[in-house]
Structure 1
Amino acid sequence: MPIRYYTDQLHREVKIPLLPQRIISLVPSQTELLYDLGLSTEVVGITKFCVHPDSWFRSKTRIGGTKDVHFDRIRALAPDLIIANKEENRQDQIETLAQEFPVWISNIQSLEEALEMINGIGEITGRTASAIPLVQQIRENFASLHNMIPPSPEKAVPTVAYFIWRDPWMVAGGDTFIHEMLQTCGFKNAFAHIHRYPETNLQQLPAYFPANTTPLVFLSSEPYPFKEKHIAEIQAVIPHAQIRLVDGELFSWYGSRLLHAPAYFKSLIHSL
């Protein structure tokens, strides 16, 4: 079988068959991308969190979670390509898999890196012809979002706290893809100065918003499934805040779902 060397987003050189026939995806958003690139036959394994598309979730072999893969199931599938992500998967598990199989790893904090990932996966799977127009359409959709948002002075930019977890309460910090999406929408992340996904004390939450402004709080649908009942907990601490339940997939999934994110963001902005 012909072999080529490809460079992943961790700048690792990975030896991959020219046209992989047995692919395992360890990342939900990239699983959906593989579907949209037309790799239904080639993808043989996914995680239990790869819920899109539903037909794959019901039919493909599940090899565990994103952070607790079952090595025996993966070995039984004999993949010739595994697609992983630096943040979503555990380093020790990926290093173990890389000793036996080709593992291509994405590393994404920005929209541009997400588009590079889409092109990269298109290249390694022989679907460049599908990936290029997909990337172009995503660029155009985000350009229309940018054109809709007028430039604002710094003091007029709405400040938002984006919650991803409860008990403990956790928010999206400044070096995350969610942060990039908030900025794209014209928001200022209240926790931009903190790395990754820090825990926070609800009682201290008001201090993260500028004085004499209306705080914005977004409660994500994932990974913690925030519901209407959780709004009251935040409202009790900041009575004058605007609090919204938001679609976490459209803020944090960096595959082909990005096609739909700008339209959702426009609707969200209008609702505020």
Structure 2
Amino acid sequence: MKQFKDQLGTLHSFETAPKRIISLVPSQTELLYDLGLEEKIIGITKFCVHPYHFKSTKKVVGGTKKIHFEKIKLLQPDIIICNKEENTAEIVEQLSSICPVWVTNIISIEDNFQMITDFGQLFNCRTEAQKWNDKLTFALSDFKKYIQDIEIKKAAYFIWKNPFMVAGDDTYINELLKLNHFENIYANKGRYPEVELKKMRLEGDPDLVFLSSEPYPFKEEDAFEIGRFTHHAKTIFVDGEMFSWHGSRLLKAFPYFKILHERLRN
């Protein structure tokens, strides 16, 4: 019997590496696939869009906040993968009656490395996990060299409308904003604060306003509405997956960030 501790500190015991995996976290579904575990993944959410073919080859068991408990139970999983931010504590508790529920908690890039290491040990794919961590370490080092001479700009990163909400402190998005030399004007307002557009200039007067593609898909009319309340800010639509998906997606995020900075120079 081997014991493993997840990122909430919960201890899980397994006699053998889990062979029937359900993932309720889109970015972690992608990571499990990239770790070579496709054959072991039996259930996903409707938001698990990468890799694309999973929609037709894996059983969809609901979303990240609403699940089909009976569908999950019938699949007889050995383990269910959740995330503290994506899934509710109630879902984790409910599913714990079926099998062990592994919960990740990714705030920093270090947390991301730890999750990949944990999956390597948990699913007996240590070599693949190490390869991914090596690739990410190299890419992170390269990006830090690239970014070191780029000046810091004040930014606001919008994730929702009605009400307007932004990414604040103690979030993975904020960590990637800092990495990119974007100073989050809402970093001291909580994790995902609601904001009043008319107060934006008083609260930090950002140079850049980022409108994410997810979880709310912002459109041109939203950019126009928000733009009325900024002084000189440039409004930019950004790929939410690159800023908020952890796991192996981070490797694709670094070249995306470089392109973003090139756009900002022009």
The interval holding the TM-score normalised by the smaller chain is over 0.9
**1:48–1:64 contact (8 Å) kept in structure 2:** yes
Matches of residues 151-230 of structure 1 in structure 2 within 5 Å? 157-209=152-204, 215-230=207-222
Matches of residues 1-272 of structure 1 in structure 2 within 5 Å? 3-150=1-148, 157-209=152-204, 215-272=207-264
**1:215–1:241 contact (8 Å) kept in structure 2:** yes
User: What whole-Å deviation, never above 9, does each CA across 1:61-109 have from its counterpart, x for those lacking one?
Assistant: 0111111111101100000011111111010110121133011110110
Give the superposition deviation at 1:239: 4.7
Give the superposition deviation at 1:187: 1.0
User: What whole-Å deviation, never above 9, does each CA across 1:209-263 have from its counterpart, x for those lacking one?
Assistant: 25xxx62100000000112332111111115210100010000000111111111
Separation in structure 2 between the aligned mates of residue 271 and residue 84 of structure 1, nearest angstrom? 35
Task: State the AA in 2 paired with 1:130.
Answer: E
Instruction: Assess, with a 3 A threshold, how the Cα gap between structure 1 residues 259 and 100 changes in structure 2: closer, same or farther.
Output: same
Q: Sequence identity of aligned pairs in percent?
A: 46
**2:167–2:193 contact (8 Å) kept in structure 1:** yes
Separation in structure 1 between the aligned mates of residue 244 and residue 125 of structure 2, nearest angstrom? 24
Q: Give ranges in structure 1 of 5+ residues lacking alignment.
A: none
Give the superposition deviation at 1:16: 2.7
Using the size of structure 2 for normalisation, the TM-score is: 0.96
Q: How many residues were matched structurally?
A: 264
Using the size of structure 1 for normalisation, the TM-score is: 0.93
Separation in structure 2 between the aligned mates of residue 142 and residue 245 of structure 1, nearest angstrom? 23
Give the superposition deviation at 1:15: 1.5
**2:201–2:231 contact (8 Å) kept in structure 1:** no
Q: Give ranges in structure 2 of 5+ residues lacking alignment.
A: none
Say what the alpha-carbon RMSD is for the aligned residues: 1.3
User: What whole-Å deviation, never above 9, does each CA across 1:26-85 have from its counterpart, x for those lacking one?
Assistant: 100000001111111110000111111110122210111111111101100000011111
